[in-house]
Structure 1
């Protein structure tokens, strides 16, 4: 019987697909059933070759090897994933496999993950595409019932490949050119560099800010606080004089401008909007929010596809709304009531096929989940999505806004009275109408407020994401990783929930090509990738432009007269070659590394605190390295000792314990003298009996 090979992006997704497809025989690399074999990638199994894999001379970091422009880009297996790739290749060549299904994430990068694999193993059999927006059993079954030929997604793959090649050309060449020129690891890219520039611009505005103190004049009335028109920043003397005049003035209502405002409920979140709200409310980074969302999608099947750039829904989802309300009825009494009444969506503008790309907005699935299984952070993200979804079933918020103008002598004041006519989705209360009439007299009291101008606020991930979205930098799927790379490369840092540029990042922006700093050129490149995805631009045209840009950018760096001061260079000297040591942040802590590229000296900046306890005072000891090798030292009492030989200090496993017990059991006592260990083991065995 012929079988279909299904390729998922992750083992966890493969497990769920296998369960739905009844492929219940599990092996190390795949699941198999009567009709399906389900295997998985581990994210990317392959990537574009690194420079030295094209030409041996490209291994050297010199200007002579730049720019690096491969005639044709090639892919290569990534380290440590070879076994899974080999297993997929063997499965694809089985005679009973007659076709394959790409079931990786339904997006640009998911397509690239799968197509790299099938291109590398030279798969010649029919290839189809599973395209779903949720991981529920119902969605999976419906998706497999409507598989599409993968040729329908050729433009998506071309866009993904073009993005990968462009990042290789610009990122590797520019970063290598900067590193060679300035003798420090300087990372630049077509998206990350203009993103960093946003943070630096805000930092510069804060540094140049000079506070100013001023006073404002307001009129306190029984109907509200009115503001002086035009609203002026006043000196203390002028404010006092004007306040005295206002208190001697009678005011009349000279105009009432009434407008009724209908405010519709907000649409469901897309990924970027959710990341912004989660950052503002819970201080989650963009990456943290995406990871939490991915778990809600894959593990719990409670929400739809995470990496969406749309806030709208397709019209075919209308028929699923009651089922989705039923699924969240345990979370919301409102949802339970509306489900029983088959309440329709009131905010019908959400259904718009023309505004949905690959995936629709983030909403709950039809899966009824056990919320007690979610951890606290997962529950926070789930609540944001569900609460936003419920707003679609509520009426517009309607207000009557009356702008009242008060005139007295030379002074004009205005205030706006808000009368809530219909609370709608805001769930507030109706308010009484304004009782003022035109021509009425109004008594008021002057109020002076002293204020100080405030500097611009530092960017948060929420506000930076908004900037990236505004200028078309990156995609919802890639923005979180871009921010993490800026932090990990030492160009940007997080302080609480605020972002700032590091001294290294500030210098990089001065050294890198101006065109790469501006968001305009990079945004145009992103728009070109979207055009490739839609079939409106040939990938070759885009890559030719990227090659030309690469040549220009490298040439500009080579000819630059600017200088660089390494902010991490210390006054400490390398004991091996005498060069200065540089501080380097790693996951294992801060290290001193030699600035000489031909020297491999490195040591910890601070001693490594271990779990090894001092035998005298029982504090944790630090691990140091001296002329005679490593040794433990207690920083409290000064006690030192050499580490035990790992071979002799290794803990016994169960097999070794069993052998030891057998050796010293009563049946095996042949030794003339019983050892203390044997006696202890015997005593323990007798106590247990």
Structure 2
């Protein structure tokens, strides 16, 4: 009997169906010589510092750094039952060996090994390593199980990652929290990511726009512009000369065809970027949708850095292409340039994300909307990546007048090639999104193409409407998840050798979680419209980076660590050397860090005054949970989570609180009755009782529909 351990119940069920273990038991399935169970994520986790010494329960500077020599692990309370089931299954006399079937990557390896060691299991195990949950892929995987020891280095790298994150996060968080008197969460990957966001915001805020001067003319129906002038006087001098000129000489007239190669297949980060740009999805949403599609056997393994397939997959491409093209009703000829997507050297643990043959039989309407859209993206990318190059015809036109060159440019898509397939599946959304970012293509295409045939190089044409155009330089844009993911992926690239493979912070599997954590703990917030959300650092996030030393916030150093983890994974770098480096860095930080002067002001920004306290006459200021009197001896407060207002279907907003403090009352429209569900308008009147608590009463003026009824409620 073999025990198969998967990462999730849904994956375990898919595996059990293929290998014939379909008898359900408590926490596992059985049949055909197999037991199949699951981990439910991380069953075993690193223990807290107090497990090493009780004194670590309190955060004290003098106890730092905390550097365990023998690491302690604990069973998560929420999953203790499932761990017990796995342990008993491992101990069964009829279980002769195990099959490790957790996700085929670094974290999946860690999840299995920690359970295996925590259960003190000594039985041999083999590794199931697959990139698809299709029945055939699972069957083939079981026919080609790998020896567990082949993945020892992967496990070692996973331990290094986990323990390095613990050392940096636990020690740096306690260090800065004790020094600055408030909780300041620090992470090995999270903090450098935050640093990039804060740096970008500082560049935007510190940007000083400079004037831009350009001249424009119109000749033969075409508007052309000059290069930028350094100062207005020079531009005006040329403008005066232009007003005296009658003709403009065509000195350049060139049309060239440029090929636009088919795009590469999707890695997870590339997919997340496009899903954010085209669909407005967060990186985490895209990962969740893709993971679900993987478990439904509709796409291959999502947590991959690769954008290519392996040579042994070339034979399956035509058949898969036929099924996908049929599914989407594409009736034109579909070229298949398989060599464009094949490169063994650029595939590590897993190949690029592609759809599976099951997509042909899938009912798209039964999938959640987000999964439908992501599956369409992945399918469109697979088909278009195999297509012909697109061809753009680019026309460059140059006029010379008053010793100044004026240029115009136009692009037109001459052969759609792979773009035709992409537009068919995506409904043109991708093409529109691309062209929105191509200002040149939007600049005068119609005019140039309409009049270009009448022009001849070397001829002069009447000069019309010379103008001086004034503009201003603009700052960089705020980070979106698309652009931040790109920055994370490229971090440290300039400082690292060309041959280094992993140039960036985090991995494709962890970047989404890093962004979500920054938002969740209040260092970053999402702002913008429904389609485009920008990542903006909060005051708390800016304050943290301001006091953070370079070795903690450096994207380059973190990128270097990521490369070393990859080297550990390959057995080319000692895990002890990696951990020594981490411990040395954190020890030096604790020993030598100096508190930033005036940090108290930095950490505690001036609070916004919104009105006058009705009890003592001092200012009322906004804080995280409500609007408080600035006199700490006064207990007056208007809570943001206010049950009286919530019962009306309203919130205690800053505007509402300010109105109550200024006028003692506020008019509310569209309140909702909890009994009838009907809406009504009313006025809330505020008074204060003997305990300095706000008391609210409804007052209905004529025509407000409650016949003068009122009710009282204390805040």
| TM-score, with structure 1 as normaliser | 0.80
C-alpha displacement at 1:199, in angstroms?
Answer: 1.1
1:482-561 alignment runs, 5 A limit: 482-496=514-528, 497-557=533-593, 561=597
Which whole-Å CA distance do the structure 1 matches of 2:342 and 2:39 have between them?
35
Out of 501, 505, 523, the position equivalent to 1:473 is 505
3-state SS of the aligned residue for 2:482?
helix
Which whole-Å CA distance do the structure 1 matches of 2:258 and 2:243 have between them?
33
1:368-420 Cα deviation digits (max 9, x unpaired): 31111112111111111111111123211234545443333412223345465
Kindly indicate whether residue 390 of structure 2 is the aligned counterpart of residue 390 of structure 1. Answer: no
Which residue matches 2:616? none
Which residue matches 1:181? 179
Which whole-Å CA distance do the structure 2 matches of 1:569 and 1:89 have between them?
55
Q: 1:571 to 1:417 in 2, by over 3 A?
A: closer
Which whole-Å CA distance do the structure 2 matches of 1:383 and 1:188 have between them?
38
C-alpha displacement at 1:50, in angstroms?
Answer: 1.0
Q: 1:616 to 1:256 in 2, by over 3 A?
A: closer
Which residue matches 1:318? 314
Q: 1:315 to 1:627 in 2, by over 3 A?
A: farther
Which whole-Å CA distance do the structure 1 matches of 2:621 and 2:171 have between them?
24
Kindly indicate whether residue 336 of structure 2 is the aligned counterpart of residue 345 of structure 1. Answer: yes
Q: 1:584 to 1:149 in 2, by over 3 A?
A: farther
Q: Looking at CA atoms only, which structure, 1 or 2, has the larger radius of gyration? A: 1
Indicate the RMSD between aligned Cα atoms, in angstroms: 3.6
Kindly indicate whether the alpha-carbon contact (under 8 Å) linking 2:215 and 2:235 is maintained by their aligned counterparts in 1.
Answer: no
Which whole-Å CA distance do the structure 2 matches of 1:582 and 1:318 have between them?
66
Kindly indicate whether the alpha-carbon contact (under 8 Å) linking 2:104 and 2:129 is maintained by their aligned counterparts in 1.
Answer: yes
Which residue matches 2:641? 606
Which residue matches 2:134? 136
Which residue matches 2:655? none
Which residue matches 1:412? 405
Which whole-Å CA distance do the structure 1 matches of 2:326 and 2:104 have between them?
30
Q: 1:258 to 1:19 in 2, by over 3 A?
A: same
Task: Extract unaligned runs of 5+ from structure 1.
Answer: 573-580, 597-601, 621-625, 643-689
Kindly indicate whether residue 374 of structure 2 is the aligned counterpart of residue 381 of structure 1. Answer: yes
Q: 1:116 to 1:493 in 2, by over 3 A?
A: same
Out of 265, 268, 276, the position equivalent to 2:265 is 268
Which residue matches 2:54? 56
Kindly indicate whether residue 479 of structure 2 is the aligned counterpart of residue 459 of structure 1. Answer: yes
1:193-272 alignment runs, 5 A limit: 193-222=191-220, 224-228=222-226, 230-232=227-229, 235=232, 238-239=235-236, 242=239, 245=242, 248-256=245-253, 259-272=256-269
C-alpha displacement at 1:439, in angstroms?
Answer: 2.3
Which residue matches 2:23? 25
1:443-489 Cα deviation digits (max 9, x unpaired): 44335544333332211111111111001110010111111111111
3-state SS of the aligned residue for 1:44?
coil
Which residue matches 2:662? none
3-state SS of the aligned residue for 2:383?
helix
Q: 1:290 to 1:567 in 2, by over 3 A?
A: farther
Which whole-Å CA distance do the structure 2 matches of 1:55 and 1:21 have between them?
47
C-alpha displacement at 1:563, in angstroms?
Answer: 2.3
Q: 1:127 to 1:200 in 2, by over 3 A?
A: same
1:484-517 Cα deviation digits (max 9, x unpaired): 1111111111113011111111111111222212
1:107-166 Cα deviation digits (max 9, x unpaired): 111111111111111222221111111111111111111110111111111111000010
Q: 1:207 to 1:569 in 2, by over 3 A?
A: closer
Which residue matches 2:600? 564
Q: How many residues align?
A: 608
Kindly indicate whether the alpha-carbon contact (under 8 Å) linking 2:18 and 2:138 is maintained by their aligned counterparts in 1.
Answer: yes
3-state SS of the aligned residue for 2:265?
coil
Kindly indicate whether the alpha-carbon contact (under 8 Å) linking 1:568 and 1:583 is maintained by their aligned counterparts in 2.
Answer: no
Which whole-Å CA distance do the structure 1 matches of 2:675 and 2:300 have between them?
58
3-state SS of the aligned residue for 2:137?
helix
Which residue matches 1:673? none
Which residue matches 2:459? 440
Kindly indicate whether the alpha-carbon contact (under 8 Å) linking 2:128 and 2:145 is maintained by their aligned counterparts in 1.
Answer: yes
Q: 1:238 to 1:448 in 2, by over 3 A?
A: closer
C-alpha displacement at 1:276, in angstroms?
Answer: 1.2
C-alpha displacement at 1:294, in angstroms?
Answer: 0.9
Kindly indicate whether the alpha-carbon contact (under 8 Å) linking 1:614 and 1:639 is maintained by their aligned counterparts in 2.
Answer: no
Which whole-Å CA distance do the structure 1 matches of 2:179 and 2:302 have between them?
41
1:160-175 alignment runs, 5 A limit: 160-175=158-173
Kindly indicate whether the alpha-carbon contact (under 8 Å) linking 2:323 and 2:357 is maintained by their aligned counterparts in 1.
Answer: yes
C-alpha displacement at 1:254, in angstroms?
Answer: 3.2
1:256-303 Cα deviation digits (max 9, x unpaired): 5565422211011111111111112222111111111111111x2111
